[in-house]
Structures are given as structure tokens and as C-alpha cells.
Amino acid sequence: MLRLWKCYQKCLAIHPLKTQVLSSGLIWGFGDIAAQTITHSTAKKHHHFQEKDKEVEINWKRVATTSLFGFGFVGPVGHYWYEGLDRYIRLQLRLQPNSFRFVFTKVAIDGFIFGPLDLLLFFTYMGFSAGKSVPQIKEDVKRDFVPALILEGGPWPIVQVANFRYIPVRYQLLYDNFFCLLDSCFLSWIEQQEDAPWKQWLNSLIPSKEKRDQGG
């Protein structure tokens, strides 16, 4: 493990972008394998499986699709996002690195901009990859986006406080990607719940256009 870590550090120093892209794709792929395993296990509690269905069968096409999201979006965008955001706060806002205001500002900007964008693109991308139409994807996003954003709004800022306070910038995306192993399981579970009552309740907390029109 130590040898692997040293190899990663060496690759990161020589080819930072390529290393971030490759590691993001691999970690998101492993995350989807874990998500499918957990989804299968939880589904068994609610459905009667035939004997042949008791063992989990990994959908490798979905694993590849999820890995491509890590390769194509999380890796390159995350690489420039964390370094660019850190530079902006230091040079433009003139905040001292690792200070309370620095960490709070970075967590806030990351949470209000990158977090929602990441979720929106993930649900949209997975919808298109599954062959869904634009209206179907809109319905899925409307159903899943707000519940996922609300539930992630609790633990994720805590994760990022530790990240931005104690982890060097060059390792911050790797740190996030490992937590995305858990996040992949969570997002897969969110999709599996479909129109669960708790989702409908969370969505009802956000005023819809129809409610605003009626109120006006």
C-alpha cells in the first residue's frame, strides 16, 4: 500500500491532470460496483427473488458509464476547480490559508456551486446513458435532485471542512473521490427509492412554480 501511495505521489507530481482523471475514473467505477452490490442486497428485502437471482450480477455497462463520469467530469473539472478556488480565495479575497474564514468560504462556494452542479450533471448523464428521453430525465431530476441535495447537505460540509483545513490542495480531489465511494451507494439508493413518500415530502419543502403562481 505504501508503494502504491508513493507511486501515486510521483505520478501526481509529473502528470497531475492525467493522474487525477485516471484515479477519479477508477474510484467512481469501484464506487458503482459497491453501489450495485448494496442496491441488490437492499432490494432482496423488498422483493421475492428466484434462486438464480440471489447472487448479485454486476452491470458492467453501468460501471463503465459511471467510470466515464469520473474520467470526463470529476477528474478534469475537480482538478481545476479545487486549485482554482484555492488560488482565488488566497489572491482575490486575500484570506489566510487554513484560517476559519478561508475554510468557511471555500466550503460555502463549493457547496453552493460545485455540489449542485455535480448532482445535476450526474443524474442527467446517467439518464441519457440509460437511453431515457429528455422528458423522462426531467422527471427523474425533479424527483431525485432535491432529496439528494438536502440529505447530502448535512454530512458533506463536514467532510469538506476537514478536507480544506487539513488536506493539501493537490490531494483534495482524491480525498473527495474516496468519500464518493459512499456517495455512489447513496445516489444509487436514491434512484432505487423512486417515488417514495419521504422523497415527495422533501420535494414539497421547495415551493414549485405552480405553488408560487397560486400564491401570487
**DSSP string of 51-112, one letter each residue:** GGGSS----HHHHHHHHHHIIIIIHHHHHHHHHHHHHHHHHTS-PPTTSHHHHHHHHHHIII
Higher pLDDT, 7 or 44: 7
Per-residue pLDDT band at 53 (split at 50, 70, 90): low
Number of Cβ atoms within 10 Å of the Cβ of 132:
15
Q: Report the alpha-carbon distance of residue 164 to residue 145 in Å, rounded.
A: 25
Q: Report the alpha-carbon distance of residue 192 to residue 35 in Å, rounded.
A: 11
Is the pLDDT at 209 greater than 60, yes or no? no
Tell me what the mean pLDDT of segment 71-100 comes to: 94
pLDDT tens digits along 138-166: 988 888 888 788 877 778 899 999 999 99
Tell me what the mean pLDDT of segment 79-101 comes to: 94
Is the pLDDT at 58 greater than 90, yes or no? no
In this prediction, residue 187 carries a pLDDT of 67
